[in-house]
Amino acid sequence: MEEKPNYSYISQLSGGDKNFEEQLLDVVRLELPLEIENYKNHLKTTDFMRAGDDVHKIKHKISILGLEKSYQVAIDHEDKLREGVVDPELFSQFEKILDAMTTFIQKA
């Protein structure tokens, strides 16, 4: 399931407007690290409901970065967290998605 973040959705949204693309990436660069930090803190404190809220916010960034299969992982992870459960497989997959996104936006 090794999916790589990409610009396809951003390009579709922008219609070729490079300024708009850069602004959108700036928002992702600014918000994503904070959302990941909140998510990890809520997991540590076992506040799974709020961790689910964090995944919900991150889900939008997953979509923006063209990660269609990863989006479904996020949905499933969010649902489990809201049930008060940390599924080890979903957790592991989601961590890989976060790492890939973080690396991508740092290089973008």
State pLDDT tens for residues 28-63.
Answer: 999 999 999 999 999 999 999 999 999 999 999 999
| pLDDT tens profile 54-91 | 999 999 999 999 999 999 999 999 999 999 999 999 99
Longest pairwise C-alpha distance within the chain? 43
Query: What count of other Cβ atoms lies within 10 Å of the Cβ of residue 44?
Result: 9
**Tokens for 55?**
């995944």
Burial (CB count <10 Å: 0-12, 13-18, 19+), residue 27: exposed
